[in-house]
Amino acid sequence: MDLGWTGKAAIVTAASRGLGKACAMRLALEGADVAICARDEAELMRTADEIRKASGRDVLAMRADVSQPGDIKALVDAAARRFGRIDALICNAGGPPSGAFMDMTDEHWEAAVQLNLMSVIRLIRETVPHMQRIGGGRIVNISSVAIKQPIPGLVLSNTLRAGLHGLVKTLANELAPAGILVNTLCPGRFETDRILGLDRASAEREGIPVEEVRRRSESSIPLGRSGDPEEFARYAAFLASPANSYMTGQAIVVDGGQWRGV
């Protein structure tokens, strides 16, 4: 299936590794030019070279911290200058720290709001005018299955992910007349550094081997395994593409069947 990416350009944030990297790679392989960012410049440049070699597409790599407004504006402006257009935005960021409600200080909450809520608000605000100029676009927010089913020990993520989907539902209505479709992708357990870190934190907290935490988590997934980031990227590539012409305001769960809700 041709997703229509040829001649299009996209921004993917936090794309030096994990789900963000997989999404940027998939879009480039489908024919898009991509702008990527991350805080670790050396790792980001390695990823950019890898995507260029694999796809032959133009890759703009900029060091940026999406919790910083100035970095977001610089990234979007640079992408618009480089490619002459922005057709898609995939909002991704590292998850906030794990912990129970009473362990979280105001500083924890404020940092999480900047990283996981305000970053998306600012990215969309900066990008929408460029999409309006070309007659439409696609925005995909990478969230978590936590918006459907809160995850124990992740109070910051549970709260902010749910709030973000409220934003997505609102924007789906506001931006539809401009031809801009907005959706949320909700990953379950995928093989990323974030998941490995959460496994280690759970193992330490419970006093059990990390392998036991992994086995327990995967036993609750009907497919019996963690997902590969490349699998997740296929869904992102569709939602962010012209091939997605009639889906907006939705939260799509990609979790191997782990979420049991109707």
Return the CATH number at 97.
Answer: 3.40.50.720
Please give the average per-residue pLDDT across 136-151, as a whole number: 94
Task: Report the first-to-last Cα separation within the chain, whole angstroms.
Answer: 29
User: 3-state DSSP call for residue 190?
Assistant: strand
**Burial of 232: CB neighbours in 10 Å, binned 0-12, 13-18, 19+:** buried
pTM of the model: 0.94
Whether 207 maps to a domain, the answer reads no
Whether 85 maps to a domain, the answer reads yes
Nearest to 76 by CA among 153, 129, 150, 148: 129
pLDDT for 26? 98
CB 90 within 8 A of CB 12: yes
Tell me: pLDDT of 203 over 90: no
CB 13 within 8 A of CB 92: yes
Whether 211 maps to a domain, the answer reads no
Q: Could you read off the pLDDT of 48-102 as tens digits, one per residue?
A: 999 999 999 999 999 999 999 999 999 999 999 999 999 999 999 988 988 999 9
* Distance, CA of 14 to chain centre: 8
In the structure encoding, which two tokens stand for residue 27, read together?
A: 């879009």
- For residue 53, the enclosing domain spans 7-190+226-252
Q: Could you read off the pLDDT of 165-189 as tens digits, one per residue?
A: 999 999 999 999 999 999 999 999 9
Write down the H helix ranges in 84-179: 106-113, 119-134, 155-175
Whether 208 maps to a domain, the answer reads no
Whether 166 maps to a domain, the answer reads yes
Low-confidence winner among 49-53, 151-155, 192-196 (lowest mean pLDDT): 192-196
CB 97 within 8 A of CB 158: no
Which residue's entry shows tokens 């918006």? 147
Whether 215 maps to a domain, the answer reads no
Q: How confident is the model at residue 114 (pLDDT cuts 50, 70, 90)?
A: very high
Which residue's entry shows tokens 């801009």? 180
Whether 127 maps to a domain, the answer reads yes
Q: What is the dihedral of CA 92, 111, 195, 201, to 10 degrees?
A: 180
Residues β-bridged to residue 182: 139
The DSSP-derived string for 34-86 is: EEEEES-HHHHHHHHHHHHHHH---EEEEE--TTSHHHHHHHHHHHHHHHS--
pLDDT for 194? 81
Which residue's entry shows tokens 């610089």? 74
Mean pLDDT of the residues in the chain: 95
How many structural domains compose the chain? 1
Whether 258 maps to a domain, the answer reads no
Residue 147 DSSP class: G
